[in-house]
Amino acid sequence: MNKLKLVYDPDNAGKLYMTRKGNQVQQRKYHLTDEEITSLQKRHEQDTSNVPEVTKAKAGKNFFNPYRKGIYWAQLQALYLLGCNEWHEFKEILSMTQKIASSMPSKMNTPNGIIDTNQWEKFRRRIPKEGTSNSKSLIGRIQENFTFMQRLSCHHPSGFKLMQAHASLDMKKVSKDGFLGGILYYRVQIHPTIEESIPTRDLSEYNFGEEEKRYYTYKFVGTVITKDTIEHCNDCCNETEDVCCQEE
C-alpha cells in the first residue's frame, strides 16, 4: 500500500481552515492525546479482565476500545468479543451488540421526565432530529455507525481514534440469492503500526453496478477490493477529484 495521505493533522485541531465554499471553520479534534490513550488502555484492561485469553491474544497488546461508553463502544466491543481479524456476519454482530448495550445503564429524556434505562433501549428509542428527511431504521443506523468508524477522509476523520488503537473497521459484502443488497460482514483488523491501520471494503464477492461502486469509493480512505481490482484510495478532500484511488 502506498503511503497514506490524510488531510487531518492533529496539530491543527482548534485552528481555522477554509472550506470549498469559502467559509472559515474551526478544525474539530478527532485524535486522542497520549494521556487519553493511556487512560483508555487502562479502562480496556479493566473492561476485559474476565475475557478469555484467546480473545485477548487475537486483539494483541496495542488494541483498546477508543470510544465513549455508548453504542459505538458496544458495537466495537461486540466485534472484539466475537474475535478480531475474523469476519462476522451482521446478524451475529447485531445480537452481540444488543446484549452488551443492554447491560450498560443509562438515562433517557422522555415527555414524562428522565428515566433509567440502558444504552440499547436509549439507542433503539432515539427519535430522529426534527427536519430529518432520511431517518434510518435501527439496523440502518447500526450500519451507519460502522461507516462512521471507517471514515478517515477530509476534516472529519471519525475513525482516526480507532486507527490510533492499531485497528481498522473492515466491511465485506457478499451476494446471495434471495438477499437483495447482499449480506454484510464486518471485522476489527489489527495492524502492526498506526500507519497501516487503514480500513478495507471487500466487494470481491458482490455484484454491483458502476454507480454503486462509486458509492463505496466516494471520499473513502482505504482499500477497496472488487472481483477485478484492488484500489488504494487516499484522501482527496482538497483535490479536484472526488475519488483518489490507485489501482493494483
Query: Per-residue pLDDT for 214 more than 90?
Result: no
Q: How large is the average pLDDT for residues 42-50?
A: 98
Domain ranges of the chain: 10-247
Provide the mean pLDDT of the chain.
Answer: 90
**pLDDT band at residue 135 under the 50/70/90 scheme:** low
Q: Are 62 and 190 in contact (CB under 8 A)?
A: yes
Cell 445503564 sits on residue: 105
pTM of the predicted model as reported, rounded to 2 decimal places: 0.90
Instruction: From 139, 140, 201, 144, select the one nearest 168 (Cα to Cα).
Output: 201
Q: Which pLDDT score, from 0 to 100, does residue 127 have?
A: 67
Q: How large is the average pLDDT for residues 108-122?
A: 91
Q: C-alpha angle with apex 36: 30 to 38, nearest 5 degrees? A: 135
Q: Identity (one letter) of the amino acid at 225?
A: I
Q: Which pLDDT score, from 0 to 100, does residue 239 have?
A: 57
Q: Which three cell numbers stand for residue 245?
A: 484511488
Q: Which three cell numbers stand for residue 194?
A: 498506526
Query: Per-residue pLDDT for 136 more than 50?
Result: yes
Q: Are 190 and 85 in contact (CB under 8 A)?
A: yes
Q: Identity (one letter) of the amino acid at 211?
A: E
Range name among 10-19, 37-46, 233-242 with the lowest pLDDT average: 233-242
Question: What is the torsion angle, in degrees rounded to the nearest 10, for the CA atoms of residue 195, residue 199, residue 205 and residue 206?
Answer: -140
